[in-house]
Amino acid sequence: MSDKQIDIGVELGKGWNLYKANMGLLVVAALIGMAVSGLTCGILGGPMSAGLFLLVRRLIQNDPVKPQAGDVFKGFDYFLQTFLVFILLGVASLVLSMVLNVIPVLGQLASMVVSLFTGSIMMWAVLFVVHQKLTAIDAIKKIFEGLKSGSLMMPLVFSVIACFLSGLGVIACVVGVIFTAPFSYCCLANVYETLYGDGGAGDGAGNGIPEAKAVEPEVIPPASDLRL
């Protein structure tokens, strides 16, 4: 687990900068992903999420080959494991919500919290599957181990905030989620890079800052070797 810390305000700012600089591409990619997921009743939601995370990471790393909206389909390289992530956590969330909804008011509020929490775990699991090549079970285990040790507590809280902000698009206007969802992906992808990335810094808009190269000192030959 990473022992790095995150600053929620800084990460939200980085996510916004990345989203603002690539809004058109991200909105179209999110629209494609949501359409495919919706038309398949959520069956392809996992691969579409994986594809969007892959696309966002290329933006963060300032890939010289400019990503295209259709690159979201590259998430199918992780079809099985991301599908299992969505099935396992989706079923768990559904069962818990059904139980809690039996309780008036408080149970319904708790159900909303559970949905946000499991949705956040789902996003982190997809990130681990895609970027660390873990299986669905190992990715979920990694998250709960991180929660137990405390190393993933703040990142998970951050992802709950990001998922809540994404959900505002549904509350305000159903189509609004097309604009808010990619923002949450930008935020989560930036947090992942902060915690587990290779250390390539950036300004949040995909403008990676290359590491300074060491300058080799000029070697001056001894006076005896000089020739007039």
User: Which residue's structure tokens are 């992530």?
Assistant: 85
Distances (CA, A) of 176 to 136, 166, 170: 30, 9, 6
**DSSP sequence for 158-195:** HHHHHHHHHHHHHHH-GGGHHHHHHHHHHHHHHHHHHH
At residue 112, the pLDDT reads 86
Which pLDDT tens digits describe the chain residue by residue (228 residues)? 566 889 999 999 999 999 999 999 999 999 999 999 999 998 999 999 999 999 999 999 999 999 999 999 999 999 999 999 999 999 999 999 899 988 888 888 898 888 889 999 999 999 999 999 999 999 999 999 999 999 999 999 999 988 887 777 665 555 677 888 999 999 999 999 999 987 544 555 555 433 434 444 445 555 555 444
**φ/ψ (deg, to 5) at 224:** -65, -25
pLDDT at 209: 38
Query: Per-domain residue ranges for the chain?
Result: 8-225
Q: What is the pLDDT of residue 213?
A: 41
Give the model's pLDDT for residue 215.
Answer: 41
pLDDT, position 200: 44
How much is the pLDDT for 169?
A: 63
The model carries a pTM of 0.83
* Helical H segments across 3-78, by residue range: 8-21, 23-39, 45-60
